[in-house]
Each structure stands twice: as C-alpha cells, then as structure tokens.
Amino acid sequence: MIPDLNLLVALDVLLAEGSVARAAKRLRLSPSAMSRTLSRLRESTGDALLVRAGRGLVPTPRALALREQVGAVVQEAEAMLRPVAGVDLSRLDRTFTLRAREGFVENFGAKLVAVVRAQAPGVRLRFLTKTDKDSAPLRDGSVDLETGVVERTIGPEVRAQSLFEDGYVGVVRSCHPLSAGPVSAEAYGAGVHVHVVLQGSEKAQIDDWLAPAGVTRAIVSEVSGFSAALALARASDLIATVPERHTAALRVGMATFSLPVDLPRFTVSLLWHPRMDGDPAHQWLRGLVRKVCAAR
C-alpha cells in the first residue's frame, strides 16, 4: 500500500502543538477531522503517539524519537515544492548542451561563451552540430537548447521563441566575375552553382522560388552544409546561395551579393522542452542566447 505522505505534515503539526484542537486550527481542519487523522497515524505507526495527561496530551517515546526526523522531512519537502526565486550565477556549476546548424557557433559561439563566463564562471557550454529535426534529444534531456527553423517535423510540445530573421544571399570568391557589382538574373542563372542539402531538413525550395522569375541554376555540386559550400566557392568559380546572418563569419574575405530574385525570408528560433520552462538557470541561458543573437 502506498503511504499517505500528508500524514507526515499532520504528525509534524500534532507533535509541535501537543493538542488536537490547536493542530486542527493550524491545518484548517475541524477537530473531528484532526482526531480521525491522529487515529490513522496511530494505525500506521502502531503507536499511540500522543496520550492524555490531565487536560493535555503528551508524546510517547516513539513520538519523541520521530519528532526531529519528521520535522526535517517536512521542511525538505516544502523546500522542494516551493517556487525557486532565482539562481546564484556565481555559484552555478552546470553544463548546458546547445544543438545548432553549422554557422551558429562560428557567428555567435564566442560572444555567448564570453557573456556566460562573465556572469557564471562555473557554467560550461557544449555545442553539438544539428543534423536532423528530431525532437527526442530535447525530450530526453540530452540537449538543453536548439536553434532552427520551426517546421512540421518538430514535436508539437516543443517551445519556440524567435531569435532573428534571415534570408538568402549569393556568395562568390573575391575575384569572381560576379564580385564587382549588382548581379542580374541572367548572370546569376548563367553561373555554375553549389547546392546545400541540409540533412534532416525539409526540401530546400530555392529553385522552386527562382522558377517563376525564369531563373534556373546549373548545379554542378551538392554538399551537406554551408561551410562546405563556401569552401568550394572560395576556391573556384562556383556560386553559393546561403543564409546571410547564419554564415556571416564563414563568408569573411568573400564577395556577397543580393539575389536578383526576392526569396522568402525565414525566422530562426530557439527551441527547448517545456519541462525546462521554470528552471531559473535555463531561463537565464535562454535570455543570453536571445540577447547575443539580437546584437548586430
């Protein structure tokens, strides 16, 4: 039989008050209900606990032995159930795991580590490369936070908050023929392209968006990430079409141009599991990620 842990609270109050009437008043119960609770306690412990002596009640030796132990258990339970007011960042010792597409660490990682260390020296950040849209790592706790575009494949229970808006740009090596100035639809379509196919993501729609404008890319290479696409473009005449903000650090030393066709923009969000909503340390880290990503 599962014990009724509410009896521990009643026992703690009875032993502290030494009176059924006073214990009933403190617990906002009727005297008869408190008497029934005492009867249940006696049955559970196999001891009288409180016996009459004159006009009052006195504890038995078993009750005296239990008093300190029961009080400590009740106080610990109350502390566990009390809302957490905050977190002492100077004493926080914890490792947080963040999962993101490549480009996130290169663009935001150093700043995030710096502000985390300034506020909570005992906190460690573990970055993982995001290769799929599976929400299981958030659910099982192996990942604390993720960044990504909210798609149908993300679990419905996952929390999401916008970090920044992004859009596609064209990128070529610094001495590429298209690096000199504005790029027309004809020039963009006449070039040779490297196409990024992100593993675990929904189908890229870049070519579907270009088609109504009569632009068709000649794709001669496919890669699984932005850094690989930019590495190929940096060392060849290939054109890479990549997200602007997400690849800023990866594009240093290269020529970036606006696409001749307006492609839909998208929102990169911060993702986490709802069980972490009320965790003060998690709330603090979420706020820092949003602040770092919002800064230009």
- For the chain, 296 residues long, the average pLDDT of each consecutive 10-residue run is 79 88 91 91 90 85 86 78 76 95 90 96 94 83 90 74 94 94 92 85 71 91 92 97 92 95 91 90 96 86
Report pLDDT digits (tens) over 210-246: 888 889 999 999 998 899 999 999 999 999 999 999 8
Q: Which CATH number fits domain 168-264: 3.40.190.10, 3.40.50.970, 3.50.50.60, 3.40.50.720?
A: 3.40.190.10
Q: Write down the pLDDT at residue 202.
A: 45
Main-chain phi, psi angles of 178, to 5 degrees: -90, 0
Residues of the chain with CATH 1.10.10.10: 6-81
- On the 0-12 / 13-18 / 19+ scale of CB atoms within 10 A, 295 is exposed
Residues of the chain with CATH 3.40.190.10: 89-165+267-294, 168-264
Rounded distance, CA 172 to CA 240, Å? 7
Rounded distance, CA 109 to CA 125, Å? 9
Tell me the percentage of the chain whose pLDDT exceeds 70.
93
3-state percent helix, strand, coil for the chain, nearest multiple of 5? 45, 20, 35
Bridge-partner residues for 196, per DSSP? 223
pTM confidence score: 0.69
Q: Write down the pLDDT at residue 153.
A: 57
CATH topology of domain 6-81: Arc Repressor Mutant, subunit A (1.10.10)
Amino acid (1-letter code) at residue 137:
P
- The CA-CA-CA angle for residues 275, 278, 283, to 5°, reads 105
- On the 0-12 / 13-18 / 19+ scale of CB atoms within 10 A, 137 is middle
CATH topology of domain 89-165+267-294: D-Maltodextrin-Binding Protein; domain 2 (3.40.190)
Q: Write down the pLDDT at residue 16.
A: 86
Q: Write down the pLDDT at residue 203.
A: 46
